[in-house]
Structure 1
């Protein structure tokens, strides 16, 4: 894929023609917003990133589990969440502040480890804490546009020899090349306005099969 990517046009040059991922693909396949406030590189907070993480989540990372000043080992955070879930599972009596703290940690994994990963695959950036601190404002950002720009940047740098690997939201690349086809077209349990990725995941559990486009 890297060899067939052209950074001048942000497209793949294949034998069958020229193709790319568009904003419409991001919105239709994963239901991510492509309008709203732009995400931008912000200045570091007054507190260090580990201190900011502790302030929001009451979770104290160790120095040995840090890479630089803003990256945290994914395995360490996963282990912490598993332990917390076993010792203090969320229930109806769980205080809202504890629910929010757990949500911040899961969101950090989603944004830093899945939607905006890095080429190491071992750690994640804590910079996204500055965008997820206000949970009510999460839907105001253009996450879809940011993911697409991140994918373009990853393939650009790899195709120009600046990187050996591409760090991108790989599920989008995988789903983009397939289309869910219902085994029983008369079934109406898939909502028409549901993002394709959700239709795919539901369909696979109910007898869908995949045909390459």
Structure 2
């Protein structure tokens, strides 16, 4: 289905204080974070490289419904039909719990169920663009003064911040990511960029668990303290994802007067 990269990044553990500090700098007019060193935002490339999801293809659309999904575990006596049902249930847990989480945290939107009918066709949808649109919408809603909660793929936002903002970049105790050899016929794909953050952290030199401290760290941030170029094509866990797309997919065409 193409969701292996999401699983490889592990269960998200959120730093709510970091996310709150970022929401305070989000501007609905430009869909960017405003820092003293400039404006920046999460892009389609960030979503694709971090989770290994497709960003081109059919649109993820449907009627927005909520319901609870129940399933039993698979055993040796489980029929093939039940295995297929269980697989769809697991996919809904990934989609509803990590990729498109809501405020409740215990429900899955049945809008996605029809997209899981044909397993071979699931990867044809542009999951990455749907995730980015959902994140933008939640950031815009959360930036309103009357809002106190936020849903959405916040793990993407958190990894984006860790990768780019040096003052909130935690020291990693050691990389556990083992990148397999690149084999186009392999069943298991190469782990995406986001999996490199599935490690222990050292919080000695990084602010955490305090919105005020994170604010004070972001306020004086200069251009050298923001990592504008994160993905290097020589990194094996990035190269395989970038090489899988046409180079044009990372670019845009715009009129000369916009320069």
Q: Output the CA distance in 2 between the equivalents of 1:112 and 1:188.
A: 26
Gaps of 5+ in 1: 45-69
Could you say if the C-alpha distance between residues 27 and 169 of structure 1 is closer, same or farther in structure 2, counting changes exceeding 3 Å? same
Deviation at 1:188, TM superposition (A): 9.7
Pairwise CA distance, 1:134 = 1.6
Shift of 1:135: 1.4
How many residues are aligned here? 170
1:97-146 per-position Cα deviation (integer Å, ceiling 9, x unaligned): 11110011111122223211222334332111121122111000000010
Name the residue aligned to 1:200.
197
Which residue number in structure 2 is paired with residue 5 of structure 1?
26
Equivalence for 2:50: 29
The answer for the alignment partner of 2:75 in structure 1 is 90
Is 1:172 aligned to 2:156, yes or no? yes
Is it true that 1:136 corresponds to 2:120 in the alignment?
yes
Note the alpha carbon deviations across 1:141-176, whole angstroms, 9 max, x for none: 000010000000111122245743221112111222
Q: 2: distance between equivalents of 1:162 and 1:122?
A: 24
TM norm structure 2: 0.56
Task: Output the TM-score relative to the length of structure 1.
Answer: 0.66
For structure 2, the residue ranges without an aligned partner over 5 or more in a row are 1-21, 164-170, 183-189, 207-226, 228-259
- Closer, same or farther in 2 for the Cα pair 1:150/1:162, shift >3 Å? farther
Q: Aligned with 1:178: secondary structure?
A: helix
> If each structure's strand is expressed as a fraction of its own residues, which one has the higher value?
1
Cα distance in 2, alignment partners of residues 171 and 188 from structure 1 = 18
Moved over 4 A (4+): 179-184, 208-213
Aligned to 2:84: 100
